Amino acid sequence: MLTQSLHAELETFGGPEAWQAAGTLPLVLQGYSRAILTDRADVAGSVGFTPWITLALADRFPVTATLPDDTGDSPPRILLLDHGAPAGQAGVLRRALSDLDMRLRLITPESDHAAMGAGLVADLHLHLGYGPGRSVTGLSPFDSLLSGAYTLVLPAQGLGAGPDLRALCAARSYGDLAPGLSELEARTRTMLARLHAIRSAGARHNPERARFAAQNAAARAEALRRFDAVLETPAAHQVAA
């Protein structure tokens, strides 16, 4: 089970020079029945090894995003997740939102997600540059939506969001796709205003999140079933998607 490409995984075992001995790499790889990748973008960095090992893709494993408490008067938190957006785009958005009463944290492909802990806790997730086949930074939009986080996505130019993400956003009032950076900023302000209004009303739980809780639980269960199906399928019947 790999959380990065097979090429990158092999380099963690001593670097490229560790595999220069003739025949070493094929012998090692042939000792495994298959390599299961959990990110579609990592398949491209692994296909060169298919003569020696079967690849399988088990993407969209549902990662739970921790949300802040609904109660209290603390400023809403924003998580800005850069999945490979054009250089400077995240900084432009961050400056455009600097007048708001909120806390914002930027997550880039270079961030150490495992060490962030509470830094990944946020009310609103903004995904920049996400698209089918793009590597996930921290959390995917699917993780955000199924966890109940208010979610806005600016898809990668030329890729679009893809039908699955469009359908998921269309079915939830707290998720949306933005056609451009200025519209993403406008919709961010609207969502933050809704969060402020809900907290000001003194509700113990966010009613918008509660409305979709059962639907999200069912979608997460289905995602886990798809993941388990890949694990249970014999290697001889699998190829990377």
Look up the CATH number of the domain holding residue 136.
3.40.50.2300
Check whether residue 40 and residue 109 sit in a common domain. no
- Is there a single domain that holds both residue 181 and residue 82? yes
User: Do 99 and 214 share a domain, yes or no?
Assistant: yes
Is the same domain home to 89 and 30?
no
Look at 235 and 222; give whichever has higher pLDDT.
222
Q: 84 and 54, same structural domain?
A: no
For residue 44, being part of any structural domain is answered with yes
Total structural domains in the chain? 2
Please report the pLDDT score of residue 14 as a whole number.
63
Has residue 157 been placed in a domain? yes
pLDDT value at 122 more than 60: yes
- Residue 225 located in a structural domain: yes
Gap between the Cα atoms of 157 and 180, Å rounded = 10
Same domain, 49 and 84: no
95 by Cβ neighbours in 10 Å (0-12 / 13-18 / 19+) ranks as exposed
State yes or no: pLDDT of 7 exceeds 50: yes
**37 found inside a domain:** yes
**Average pLDDT of the chain, as a whole number:** 87
Residue-wise pLDDT tens digits, 145-184 = 999 999 999 999 888 898 999 999 999 999 999 999 999 9
Q: Is residue 29 part of a domain?
A: yes
* Choice among 4-18, 30-44, 173-187 with the minimum mean pLDDT: 4-18
Residue 209 belongs to a domain: yes
What pLDDT does residue 41 have? Answer: 84
Domain co-membership, 89 together with 185: yes
Establish if 71 belongs to a structural domain.
Answer: no
207: in domain: yes
Output the pTM of the full model: 0.85
CA geometry: angle 79, 171, 176, nearest 5 deg: 35
Band of residue 13 on the pLDDT scale cut at 50, 70, 90: confident
Whether residues 232 and 142 fall in one domain: no
| Residue 143 confidence (pLDDT) above 70 | yes
Alpha helices for 4-140 (secondary structure H) = 6-11, 24-29, 89-96
Please indicate, yes or no, whether residues 13 and 121 belong to a single structural domain of this protein: no
Residue 37 near residue 5 (C-beta atoms within 8 A): yes
Range(s) of the domain holding residue 14: 6-61+220-237
Regarding whether 96 and 56 lie in a shared domain, the answer is no
Residue type for 128, please?
L
CA 104 to each of CA 30, 32, 38, 91, 158: distance values in angstroms, whole numbers, following the listed order: 46, 43, 28, 11, 27
Residues 84 and 199 in one domain: yes
Do both 48 and 105 map to the same domain? no
